Structure formats: C-alpha cells, structure tokens
Amino acid sequence: MIDFFNFNFLITPYIIGFVYAFGAIGVPFAVGYLLRKYKLTLPRSKYTLYAIGIFMAMEVAWRIFCEFFMVYFKIYLSLQ
C-alpha cells in the first residue's frame, strides 16, 4: 500500500485499456452529434460517405491517442 501512495506503483497503464474501450464505444455517438450539429445539406450518398470518413478518422485518432500513453508507460516500466 505504501508503494501506491509513493507513486512507485502505477495504476494508469491498467486503466488505459478500459478508457480505450469506453472511448471507442463513444465515438459513434460523437460522430452522430457532430453530423447533427453541423447539419450538412448533402445528398444521401455523400452524407453517408462523410459519416463513415469522420467515424474512421475519429476511431484511428482515439486509438493513436491511447497507444501513445500505453507506449509511454511501457517505456517507463521497462526503465525501472
């Protein structure tokens, strides 16, 4: 327990997996919100392509964001 309070034991590397899962589930809701907020006046086919493109870009960005922190903490743990 003393390691926890002295920050010798990190809990964040174990939490990032859960954060990624919740974020990956939340991305479709964010895409829907953005598309409704900006009310694109496009034909149905272009609207669908934009939605898919935005969804894929946000999922990749979220994955890269979480992977950055995983790599950071793995480097830290390997240096100990």
DSSP string, 11-78: -HHHHHHHHHHHHHHHHHHHHHHHHHHHT----HHHHHHHHHHHHHHHHHHHHHHHHHHHHHHHHHHH
CA separation for the pair 70, 73 (Å, rounded): 5
In-domain check, residue 8:
no
Rounded to an integer, the average pLDDT of 23-38 is 84
10 falls within a domain: no
| Residues spanned by the domain of 69 | 17-79
Kindly state the average pLDDT of the residues 71-76: 85
Residue 3 belongs to some domain of the structure = no
User: Looking at the domain assignment, is residue 7 inside a domain?
Assistant: no
Is the pLDDT assigned to residue 60 strictly greater than 90? yes
52 Cβ partners below 8 Å, 6+ apart?
none
Task: Give me the mean pLDDT over the 23-33 stretch.
Answer: 87
- pLDDT of res. 64: 94
Residue 67 counted as domain residue: yes
Question: How many structural domains does the chain have?
Answer: 1
